[in-house]
Structure 1
Amino acid sequence: MSIDRTRRRILHAGAAGIAGFSLPFAFGTRAFAADGGVLTVAIPSNPQTLDPLNQPNHDVMAINQLIFENLVGVDTRGQRVPQLARAWAISPDKLTYTFDLQRGVTFQNGQPLTSADVKYSFDYVLNPANKAFRRPFWTVIDSVSAPDPATVVIRLKRPYRPLLDYMSKYMGIFPAGSREQHPADFFRQAPVGVGTGPGIFVQSRANDFVELRRNPNYWGKGLPHWERVVFRIIPEESSRLASLMATQTQIISAPPAQLFPQIRHSPGIVGDSRPSPTSPLMMCVNTRKAPFDDLAFRRAVSLVMDRAKISRDLCYGAVKASSMPFAADSPWFDTASAARADFNLDAARAALKASKYASGASFDLLYVQPAYLIDTSSTALFVQAQLASLGVKVNLRPLDFGQMISQAMVGNHQAVLTGFIAPPEPTYLLNALFRPTESLWKATGYTNAAFVQLIDDSYAADDSASLKSVLVKLQRIIARDCPAIWIGALEVQDLWRSEVRNFEVNTGFSLALGQVALSAA
């Protein structure tokens, strides 16, 4: 289907929806009128949980982060900002972090926040008996203490540079004793009153919506500006766009990339994009399964990948071509390593000839449908065609995101084409994919003790030059071993109605809604 025909189809869908513009849209037994007090947004994924300690989904983090808060936040540009801690200090040996808490903060149930709640929250996630999905981020912590009600001290076993960056997404602070006071599904399904954030959970319906209301006692002065926020679950990107154009939603994430440049300038619509230099489109290849158990074969796959064409013609600029884990304009990017892994058809043929699969190979390539972050269906077809030119057969297997990630996490795949979201920290995904104790390691099965040691070395780096030196060494190993195939760095793209105020595209992909306001129609 051509771009023009697709655009006409979506514009028609939007126009059809406008026929009922004066009516409220309804979910179940509750109606939500499109008025100035209700902010309505569309996200692609259905929440499996609302518990921040177990949240695997970056779309749904937009909900979590309105309910729960952390000691430190990260703003839409990826910079650290105070949150429940108004200030912090790091000891010279980088092993002790002292946090000074905000004053006058209460949980949504009216209970004052104290350092005892912070200690309780970290102790809970660190307890292996609680099986928190995000526990691996925090096992470097040796102890958490609360010397007085407004002070928290975290002591580490070793230096850990990403500690503050990870607090923004992979942790939440909740009242002491709350996990024992509520049934097991409380935090997962209906965490009412146990956060400090601007949004209080009201209700949800699977595959439909999640509703929050304004926290009237929120410690952030004058916030939030909305009375309610409703997250509509709309998996299809064309349907999300149609809902925006029909004014049924006011903000949407992950619009169709091929239409984004035109639609962002449509009457009543605003759009913007922001690079996410550590969030890649990539192929996770299972190095423990044929044919990716052969280094030369993996190298052939990397070298046959025409990333510039994929970025330009198939992803419409929503992916910036890169054969390394970082965007090409990132300060961490190593040009020499990228050149070794980048598109070179003659070198790809030579690598395949040197592999044990020179006489032919085939594999299944899983990719996500409906689209998650970006539509990869055209890229999957292109990869299939490129490898066919080498005599390699690729069997395409579309799955929804939940099915795909569950297969990858247990290693029940040969190759997966997908986008991954990472915080603005360069080793997050490298650690997750290549450290054998991490949750995504089975997606690659790659084992290299020297590689893991370099990640640990990066945690102790205390300036940009020493960090870059370690990252260059990591990229040299990636260029040599091809433990995964990077295609490019994702660009975050969002669209919103012109009546939306104070909205900024978030480099971390999750919609940032705490500051958003709606002007009168």
Structure 2
Amino acid sequence: MAIEDLMQQRVSRRWVVKAGAAGTLFLLTGCTSAANSGAGTSSGPKKGGTLHMAQVPDIIPSGLFGQNFPNTAVGRLVYNTLTEYDHKTLKPNPSLATSWQLAGDGTSLTLELRKDVKFHSGRPFGPGDVIFSIQNIQDPKRASQLRSTAAVITDASGSGSTVKLRLSHAASNLFDLFEIMFIVDKDTLPDMLSGKNLNGTGPFVWKQWNPGDSVALTKNPSYWKPGRPYLDGVELRIIPQAQSLLSSLQAQQTELALGLAPKDYVGLKNNPAFTTQVADTGDAAYYVGCNVKVPPFDRKEVRQAVAYGVDKERILKEVFSGVGNATSIPWPKSSPAYTDTAATHYSYNPNKAKQILQSAGLTNVQAQLAFNSGSPPLSPMAQIVQFNLQQIGITTQTVSYDAAQFIQKLQAGTLPGLWVNVHGFSQLHPATLIVSAFPFNAAKNASNLNDPVYVDLANQAFRASESSAKAVYQKVTDYLLDQQFVIDSVISPGTFVSVNKFKNFTYNMFDYLDFDEAYLA
């Protein structure tokens, strides 16, 4: 994907798009990413009612700005963003912003906003809300993974329905920020952080959160898209056990399951009672992380030995039932940074892994291996990694953390020597991964890697022009393969399973569910 297509840095361009029955949904999700439209458009009647959905981990309202997977089920239902990507081209389409104009040098941007939008509280939306939302992402207390991108915006002003942004330098991934940044209400931010009330402009109004149990949303009668949403409401149920999640769907107590365990998804693919979908974003990359402050993983040759010692094809087959692909890099095949050669760099080679450890003078290495229990695939993945590492001379003790604990430790850089988890962001502009995602952020990452060379590469990708982008991406990929502080293993897209009567749901490029057009047939 050309940088010019994403950011229009070479030539200022302007898009103008004119913006344009009830039900309630329950959602089931397991903590992988979201998927494509449930079953497409139907000629049947679009019914209302309550849609029931469910997921394994509870939401984390205070982590909504940190782009954490447990919140992908509800974020876009309550809030809107400025723009929304076309999944095939990564060209931004209007949402709360109707048009925009980027200066030729990429250092200023003018946005025109919708004039007919209100928050759920009834207060009109305007330029001040965009400016506040940017400042909120820039605030270190929010722990946003997009803070580095937002920090490029050095000045913002608004008048009427216009927002003008000034940037410290051209940013190749600016619209990644607009894809993910929810427009929030400053007056109710404390209530949002506590989960008491999320006051957005989206299709559904926050009704109640019962921690560990459920979230209830009701239809926004004043939504800015005429006649939408069709659903009267949505209820998200928290079902901590993956098997119970499956049972609830099979009994049709829920209409949509997000992130079922891969084997359960594959088991339902040919069941005529359900519609199965695989996300087209390719964002869910499962990896082994290394804390470079914990010996012996402070030595890159040891991390490389781990990379050779992990049987990625076995993980793909046994944990993900073949849904996805084994890989040595974070980039999905749709990324401009992807190459086949890089993806197969660390093919399974336990003998080579042993030789590396022996050359390093290491025998009987002991380590902790943590995993996020909020994502069903991670426990069996950890078991395979543990077995693989034992075969090359690294004995590990597994440690389980729930989703909230794991994310806190990931953000703080306090995970043990090794861990398994899933990351996103690689489906967006390549710069976003290395300046934003917690596992990769060059400025501060979960592995505690602090390297000026890496920081310089991140800055190059951040500022890359169309002509320089390919060479920069290759240098970034070569660095990641050499350092192996993040050992990517499998990219397995998120999956959706829905009952056939639930139609036309979709998601954005970060897998936040979009029910603007969803209905029960």
Deviation at 1:76, TM superposition (A): 6.0
Among residues 378, 381, 392, which one is paired with 2:380 in the alignment? 378
Listed as ranges, the matches of 1:24-103 within 5 Å are: 36-49=48-61, 52=64, 54-74=65-85, 80-103=92-115
| Contact 1:116 1:149 survives alignment (8 Å) | no
Q: Give deviations 1:258-289, integer Å, cap 9, x for gaps.
A: 12123132232111102443431001100111
Listed as ranges, the matches of 1:251-290 within 5 Å are: 251-290=256-295
Among residues 420, 426, 432, which one is paired with 1:428 in the alignment? 432
Q: Name the amino acid aligned to 1:59.
A: P
Work out the CA distance in 1 between the residues paired with 2:126 and 2:209: 30
Q: Name the amino acid aligned to 1:390.
A: I
Q: Give deviations 1:350-407, integer Å, cap 9, x for gaps.
A: 21122242x221111111225x1x5122222222222222222121222222222223
Deviation at 1:518, TM superposition (A): 0.7
**Residues 363 and 172 of structure 1, relative CA distance in 2, 3 Å threshold:** same
Listed as ranges, the matches of 1:367-516 within 5 Å are: 367-370=371-374, 372=375, 374-412=376-414, 413-422=416-425, 424-431=428-435, 432=437, 433-435=439-441, 437-438=443-444, 441=445, 443-463=446-466, 466-504=468-506, 508-516=510-518
Q: Give deviations 1:74-109, integer Å, cap 9, x for gaps.
A: 356665321100111111111111111123222222
Among residues 226, 230, 235, which one is paired with 1:225 in the alignment? 230
| Contact 1:62 1:513 survives alignment (8 Å) | no
Deviation at 1:183, TM superposition (A): 7.8
1:345 aligns with 2:356: no
Among residues 351, 361, 364, which one is paired with 1:360 in the alignment? 364
Q: Name the amino acid aligned to 1:516.
A: A
**Residues 187 and 350 of structure 1, relative CA distance in 2, 3 Å threshold:** closer
| Contact 1:278 1:426 survives alignment (8 Å) | no
| Contact 1:65 1:197 survives alignment (8 Å) | yes
Q: State the structure with more CA Rg.
A: 1
Deviation at 1:206, TM superposition (A): 0.8
Work out the CA distance in 1 between the residues paired with 2:176 and 2:189: 31
**Residues 158 and 251 of structure 1, relative CA distance in 2, 3 Å threshold:** same
Range that drifts further, 115-124 or 319-328? 115-124
Work out the CA distance in 2 between the residues paired with 1:124 and 1:260: 38
1:152 aligns with 2:156: no
Give the corresponding residue for 2:14. none
Q: Name the amino acid aligned to 2:224.
A: W
Q: Give deviations 1:199-258, integer Å, cap 9, x for gaps.
A: 111112111111111111111122111111111112222212211121211111111211
Give the corresponding residue for 1:28. none
Give the corresponding residue for 2:30. none
**Residues 257 and 126 of structure 1, relative CA distance in 2, 3 Å threshold:** closer
| Contact 2:72 2:511 survives alignment (8 Å) | no
Work out the CA distance in 1 between the residues paired with 2:361 and 2:299: 7
| Contact 2:78 2:204 survives alignment (8 Å) | yes
Q: Give deviations 1:284-326, integer Å, cap 9, x for gaps.
A: 1001111201221111110112212221233212341101111
| Contact 1:273 1:492 survives alignment (8 Å) | yes
Work out the CA distance in 2 between the residues paired with 1:183 and 1:87: 27
Q: Name the amino acid aligned to 1:248.
A: Q
**Residues 306 and 492 of structure 1, relative CA distance in 2, 3 Å threshold:** same
| Contact 1:76 1:504 survives alignment (8 Å) | no
Percent identical among aligned pairs is 24
**Residues 114 and 403 of structure 1, relative CA distance in 2, 3 Å threshold:** closer
Give the corresponding residue for 1:250. 255
**Residues 75 and 221 of structure 1, relative CA distance in 2, 3 Å threshold:** farther
Give the corresponding residue for 1:189. 195
Listed as ranges, the matches of 1:205-220 within 5 Å are: 205-220=210-225
**Residues 279 and 449 of structure 1, relative CA distance in 2, 3 Å threshold:** farther
| Contact 1:49 1:55 survives alignment (8 Å) | no
1:307 aligns with 2:337: no
Give the corresponding residue for 2:5. none
Q: Secondary structure at the match of 2:404?
A: helix
Work out the CA distance in 2 between the residues paired with 1:329 and 1:204: 37
Deviation at 1:339, TM superposition (A): 4.2
Work out the CA distance in 2 between the residues paired with 1:468 and 1:261: 36
Q: Secondary structure at the match of 1:445?
A: coil
**Residues 234 and 472 of structure 1, relative CA distance in 2, 3 Å threshold:** same
| Contact 1:91 1:97 survives alignment (8 Å) | yes
Among residues 196, 201, 207, which one is paired with 2:206 in the alignment? 201
TM-score, normalised via structure 2 length: 0.84
Range that drifts further, 252-261 or 281-290? 252-261
| Contact 2:378 2:420 survives alignment (8 Å) | yes
**Residues 103 and 451 of structure 1, relative CA distance in 2, 3 Å threshold:** same
Deviation at 1:125, TM superposition (A): 4.1
Q: Name the amino acid aligned to 2:499.
A: R
| Contact 1:55 1:61 survives alignment (8 Å) | no
TM-score, normalised via structure 1 length: 0.84
| Contact 1:434 1:447 survives alignment (8 Å) | no
Work out the CA distance in 2 between the residues paired with 1:166 and 1:121: 11
| Contact 1:322 1:489 survives alignment (8 Å) | yes
Work out the CA distance in 1 between the residues paired with 2:240 and 2:508: 20
Q: Name the amino acid aligned to 1:309.
A: R
Work out the CA distance in 1 between the residues paired with 2:433 and 2:137: 21
Give the corresponding residue for 1:17. none
1:168 aligns with 2:185: no
1:109 aligns with 2:113: no
Work out the CA distance in 1 between the residues paired with 2:81 and 2:293: 38
Work out the CA distance in 1 between the residues paired with 2:132 and 2:378: 42
Q: Secondary structure at the match of 1:461?
A: coil
Give the corresponding residue for 1:141. 153
| Contact 1:318 1:493 survives alignment (8 Å) | no
Q: Name the amino acid aligned to 1:166.
A: L
How many residues are paired up?
470
| Contact 1:43 1:232 survives alignment (8 Å) | yes
Work out the CA distance in 2 between the residues paired with 1:223 and 1:459: 37
| Contact 1:59 1:511 survives alignment (8 Å) | no
Q: Give deviations 1:423-474, integer Å, cap 9, x for gaps.
A: 5232333333344543xx1x211122122211211122232x6322211111
Range that drifts further, 58-67 or 210-219? 58-67
| Contact 1:338 1:479 survives alignment (8 Å) | no
Work out the CA distance in 2 between the residues paired with 1:245 and 1:339: 38
**Residues 236 and 483 of structure 1, relative CA distance in 2, 3 Å threshold:** same
Work out the CA distance in 2 between the residues paired with 1:434 and 1:361: 25
